[in-house]
Amino acid sequence: MNKIIKPNRLSIGDTIGVVAPSSPIINENIDEIEEAKKIVESKGFKVEFSKNLFSNSNGYSATAKEKAEDINEMFANKNIKMIWCAKGGENSNSTFEYLDYELIKKNPKIICGYSDITSICNIIAEKTGLVTFIGTNFKTIATAQTDYAFKESLNRFARGSLKIGSTTDGESEYATIQAGQAEGQLVGGNLSLIKNLVAGKYSINFDNKILFIEELGFETCPTMVSNYLYFMKQNQIFDKIVGLWIGNYEHESKIPLEKIVIDTLEGNYHFPIIKSNNFGHTETNTTIPIGTKAKIDTAKEQKIEFIENCVN
């Protein structure tokens, strides 16, 4: 098991590197990325785009080697203090075999993104011990309706805040699905990507972890969510974790993610399960560290708290 490595916090004047490990930055995305750059620079940071940020060599994305090269170079560059993933998509896992995990371990720094970036953040944490972050993508800084998620990320990265953002509409709406207490390292993100990391060469360790999951209802119907959860169940993931934190899922059927979870688990697991709408594909997208400890206590109003610093 790798020793936990915490990245240094972000300071005003630091340079943030932007990479695109998933879908290509094309068409309107180019202007959105440029607008996000202006917003971040207005807060006192510098922004540097990776060499292949706007590459679309394959016609559906940059090549796997181009994407990994950009990530490796950003970790190696001493002037870059944080790496922000530009947007999500479908195939960031293509980078896995080309990432230089020893280089990353020796040059720890913040790396952040969500949705398809779940794959990269979790595999880097698994292979190196580096604390990574599931939070807003760089493009979303410009396209979100509010600056909520951007502020959440800066609170985490620059101030080292352990405060978890509010739930939908600012209300405290933590729900207990299954009562209990648990303490463990955080692992998780987008369910469809986490499902792909439960077995095989590029799998992650779920032992004694608090798993957090969310899913994009626009792309994933309840039967597919059921498919993912049963695959995880059949691979003993729910025998290993100590707690489950369910985030945002909005599907036209109005079937909630917690119902599908309950249907899958069939009452056979006794870890605490909580639900909140403050992470995932939602405007209230807080920033969650992978690899540091959290505690679930369903007796409290805010049923989960981060209990270990995630940046130095």
Average the pLDDT over 62-83 and give the result.
Answer: 98
Cα 160 to Cα 157: distance, rounded to the nearest angstrom: 6
Amino acid at 265: L
Average the pLDDT over 260-268 and give the result.
Answer: 96
Q: DSSP class of residue 50?
A: -
Cα 251 to Cα 100: distance, rounded to the nearest angstrom: 38
Residue 254 domain flag: yes
209-246, pLDDT tens digit by residue? 999 999 998 889 999 999 999 999 999 999 999 999 99
Classify residue 208 as left (phi > 0), alpha (psi -120 to 50) or beta: left
Q: Which domain holds residue 180?
A: 168-306
292-312, pLDDT tens digit by residue? 999 999 999 899 999 999 999
Shared domain check, 137 and 189: no
Say if residue 53's pLDDT is above 90: yes
Q: Show which of 132, 157, 182 is a domain's final residue.
A: 157
CATH code at 198?
A: 3.50.30.60
Q: Show which of 157, 183, 207 is a domain's final residue.
A: 157
Shared domain check, 220 and 178: yes
pLDDT tier at 284, thresholds 50, 70, 90: confident
Entry pTM: 0.96
Cα 161 to Cα 309: distance, rounded to the nearest angstrom: 8
Residue with tokens 């993104």: 113
Residue 67 domain flag: yes
Shared domain check, 193 and 79: no
Residue 288 domain flag: yes
Q: What SS3 state is found at 52?
A: coil
Residue 9 domain flag: no
Q: Give the model's pLDDT for residue 141.
A: 96
Q: Give the model's pLDDT for residue 204.
A: 97
What percent of the chain stands above pLDDT 90? 92
Say if residue 287's pLDDT is above 80: yes
Shared domain check, 192 and 129: no
Cα 111 to Cα 129: distance, rounded to the nearest angstrom: 13
129-162, pLDDT tens digit by residue? 999 999 999 999 999 999 999 999 999 999 999 9
Which tokens is 43 given? 């807060």
Say if residue 94's pLDDT is above 90: yes
Structural domain count, the chain: 2
Q: Give the model's pLDDT for residue 49.
A: 98
Q: Give the model's pLDDT for residue 95.
A: 98
Shared domain check, 229 and 129: no
Average the pLDDT over 60-66 and give the result.
Answer: 96
Contact 20, 53 (CB under 8 A): yes
Q: Give the model's pLDDT for residue 167.
A: 61
Cα 296 to Cα 303: distance, rounded to the nearest angstrom: 6
Q: Show which of 157, 180, 204 is a domain's final residue.
A: 157
Shared domain check, 254 and 134: no
Residue 53 domain flag: yes
Shared domain check, 287 and 255: yes
Q: Give the model's pLDDT for residue 297.
A: 98
Residue 274 domain flag: yes
Shared domain check, 19 and 144: yes
Q: Give the model's pLDDT for residue 1.
A: 62
Average the pLDDT over 175-196 and give the result.
Answer: 97
What integer best gives the mean pLDDT of the chain?
Answer: 95
Q: Give the model's pLDDT for residue 168.
A: 54
Shared domain check, 297 and 179: yes
79-89, pLDDT tens digit by residue? 999 999 999 99
Shared domain check, 297 and 213: yes
